[in-house]
Amino acid sequence: MIDHVYISVTDIEQALAFYLEALAPAGWRAFGNYNASSGPENVPDLFGIGDADYISGARVGSSIWLRQRESGETGLYLGIVCDSDEMVDAAYAAAIRAGGIDEGEPADRTYFAPGYYSANVRDIDGNRIEFVHKAWSAAR
C-alpha cells in the first residue's frame, strides 16, 4: 500500500488549491504542514493533504505532501507502508542489493512523530522511495 507521496511543485499555493478541489469529492482534505526547521537539513517544508483514514488514524490511509520543487529533481518521492520495523529493514536491504542508492539507513525518525521508523533509497534515475512503519497505524 502507498502511505504517502511527495509531489514537487513550482507554486505551493496554486498546487494546494488544485489538489484540495480535485480530491474533495473523494473525501481528502488538508490536515497540516511540516515545518522543516524541526527536522534534519534534507527534509523540506511539506504541505499535507490526506484521506479520511490517514487523517483519523483509525486505519492505514494515504497522504500527499506538496513541497517546493528544486532545480533538477524528478519530483517523485513514494512512501511504501511496511507492517513492521523488520520489514523496513528487509525492504531497504533488498533495494540496496538491487542497485538503490542509500539516502537514509533504517532508523527512528522521531522528528516526524514518535514510532515513525523508515529508510530511504534513490533509484538510478533519482526517484526516491521511503519504506515506512508507523507504530500507531492499525494493521491492514
Res 140 pLDDT > 60:
no
Under a CB-based contact definition with an 8 Å cutoff, are residues 2 and 64 in contact? no
φ/ψ of 80, rounded to 5, equals: -110, 130
Q: Where are the domains of the chain?
A: 2-134
Choice between 108 and 73, residue whose per-residue pLDDT is larger:
108
Of 1.10.1370.30, 3.30.420.40, 3.10.180.10, 3.40.50.2000, the CATH number of 2-134 is: 3.10.180.10
- Name the band, by pLDDT with cuts 50, 70 and 90, for residue 24: confident
Burial 91-119 (b: 16+ CB within 10 A, else e): bbeebeeeebeeebebeebeebeeebbbb
pLDDT, one tens digit per residue, over 75-134 is 688 888 888 999 899 999 999 998 889 999 999 999 889 999 999 998 877 788 899 999
pLDDT, one tens digit per residue, over 45-63 is 889 999 888 888 888 788 9
